[in-house]
Amino acid sequence: MSRPTSLRLPDDVRERLNNESRRVSAAPSKLAVALIDEGLRMRRFPGIVFRDGPTGRRAGLAKGPDVWEIVRDLKRARGTVRQPVGLVAEETGLAPELIEFAADYYAVFPDEIDDRIATDIRVAEELREFAERRERMLST
């Protein structure tokens, strides 16, 4: 659900918002909502940044990988003999505190991260299918 909210923007901020909305082909109001949401998330989780990519913007550690990658690795590590945080830290070289920080972000925004993981699985499957079709075509 969304409700209208009125706020006054200084002229220079409004101009930058309009310029950026043209650059990314998004309505200024939609872009403003996204930027406010990201800003609030970054304020709640200092050290989280948002990056552009082929599948959209995503949360990541300022000096590390995307949050969804860490959470994916933590989920894979569950059910192993070792503690998931320790195993992921060993495999990635990340400090355990950063892995726990990513888990904290996930605990608050699980749908966002689960959607990103599902997208990664879907894209990987599409690439495998493409490679198989290509190989079949080239080998006949």
pLDDT single digits (tens) 39-81? 999 999 999 999 998 888 999 999 899 999 999 999 999 877 7
Sign of CA dihedral 112, 118, 119, 120: positive
Average pLDDT, the chain: 93
CA distance 9 to 134: 53
User: What's the mean pLDDT in 84-108?
Assistant: 96
pTM: 0.85
3-class DSSP state of 14: helix
Q: Which residues pair with 66 in a beta bridge?
A: 60
Share of the chain above pLDDT 90, in %: 84
Q: Of the candidates 116, 111, 115, 83, which has an alpha carbon nearest to the alpha carbon of residue 99?
A: 83
